[in-house]
Amino acid sequence: MKIAVIVNENGGSSTGADNDITVDTIRSAFSQCGVSCTILAVPGSDIKKTAQQAVHDGFEKIIAGGGDGTISTVASALSGTSIPMGVLPLGTLNHFAKDLGIPATLDEAVHTAVHGVQKEIDVAEVNGHIFINNSSLGLYPHLVKGRDGLIERLGIGKWSAMALAFWRILGKFPLYTLTVEAHGKATTAITPLVFVGNNQYDMSLLELGNRTRIDAGELCVYMAQCSGRFGLLVFALRAVFGTLNQSKNFESSVVRQIRIDTRRRSLRVALDGEVMTLSSPLLYRVRPRDLVVMVPHPEE
């Protein structure tokens, strides 16, 4: 089988900065599985076009090595094709791999990517941009943008920058007036945060954002219910300590598609942790079983 492994060379794990995983280590792991592969280590900005080129070049299996952002980018190139995607969870959180039961260790993840079983799962999209985990607007995209700016300017750590960015945003208290249309009904909402998940997330668990399945053909939509700075602070602290309750702290719904409109011409939107600016309105929809991924055998 002709296999391509696309690795984000900007990621700490994939370059060996965090845990000694290098291109040679990855190649050795595949060799131990009895297969050869073409490893394409590229900058994050080149991942999508590299994946598209791999599809064009006739690779029969394409494996993504990196964090959720890298895996999501490769998935966007493979969605709608019959080419299976393998996953090497080399990021920090690896939510997608965890929800699919893909092992965290390199050797076991390689084994799953090579010898696992194929599973068809859903992807979601907003204004044509695909995501595999979730998308959000409001508080979170501003936090990520502020965090990255502080890291670049001050050279501080990721979590310190996030905390500082939160306190700065809290002073502005961003609230959005939205028109939300789903199931043929339009409603108006005022909220600091909207979360759209590819299938249902359990927002009450200590590990915020677990999914029991990614093939139910649905989106979950959560809108935060809080008003004033104190309410936003309490909401954020509950999120940090895993005590959010989806029935008390969110207005939730399950849909196949949803339209979110605002008076603003454009909005900052986070997709699988990456922030981009999209034109309003935002049109979300699920694409059922549009992506083939390699997962462990059921007995494993």
Q: What is the mean pLDDT of residues 186-204?
A: 85
Quick one: pLDDT at residue 135?
Answer: 94
Closest CA to 257 of 203, 187, 184, 195: 184
Quick one: pLDDT at residue 174?
Answer: 66
Give the pairing type, strands 257-261 and 38-42.
unpaired
Assign 20 a pLDDT band (cuts: 50, 70, 90): low
**Domains of the chain listed by start with CATH number:** 3-115 (3.40.50.10330), 131-289 (2.60.200.40)
Q: Over the chain, what is the mean pLDDT?
A: 85
| Interatomic CA distance for residues 234 and 232, integer angstroms | 5
Quick one: pLDDT at residue 6?
Answer: 97
Q: In this prediction, what percent of the chain has a pLDDT beyond 70?
A: 80
Closest CA to 118 of 160, 170, 79, 83: 83
Contacts of 205 (CB under 8 A, 6+ apart): 242
Q: What is the mean pLDDT of residues 8-28?
A: 68
Higher-pLDDT residue of 209, 74: 74
**Residue at token pair 């699919």:** 100
Closest CA to 211 of 224, 226, 195: 195
Higher-pLDDT residue of 220, 240: 220
Quick one: pLDDT at residue 50?
Answer: 98
Containing H/E element for 83? Answer: none
Q: Which stretch, 174-183, 198-207, 273-282, has highest mean pLDDT?
A: 273-282
Q: Which stretch, 129-133, 240-244, 248-252, has highest mean pLDDT?
A: 129-133
Least confident of 128-142, 157-171, 232-246: 232-246
Quick one: pLDDT at residue 116?
Answer: 96
Q: Does position 204 have pLDDT exceeding 60, yes or no?
A: no
pTM listed for this prediction:
0.84
Q: Where are the alpha helices (H) located in the chain, listed in sequence order?
A: 23-32, 47-56, 68-78, 95-100, 106-115, 139-154, 158-172, 228-240
Quick one: pLDDT at residue 258?
Answer: 97
Give per-residue pLDDT as tens, 146-192: 666 767 777 777 667 767 766 666 666 667 889 999 998 999 988 88
Q: Does position 241 have pLDDT exceeding 90, yes or no?
A: no
Assign 283 a pLDDT band (cuts: 50, 70, 90): very high
CB 221 within 8 A of CB 195: yes
C-alpha distances in Å from residue 291, one per residue of 82, 85, 152, 221: 8, 8, 35, 21
Assign 247 a pLDDT band (cuts: 50, 70, 90): low
Quick one: pLDDT at residue 159?
Answer: 65
Containing H/E element for 131? Answer: strand 129-131
Q: Does position 82 have pLDDT exceeding 80, yes or no?
A: yes
Q: What is the mean pLDDT of residues 192-197?
A: 89
Closest CA to 219 of 135, 294, 277: 135
Report how far Cα 282 is from the mean position of its chain's Cα atoms. 18
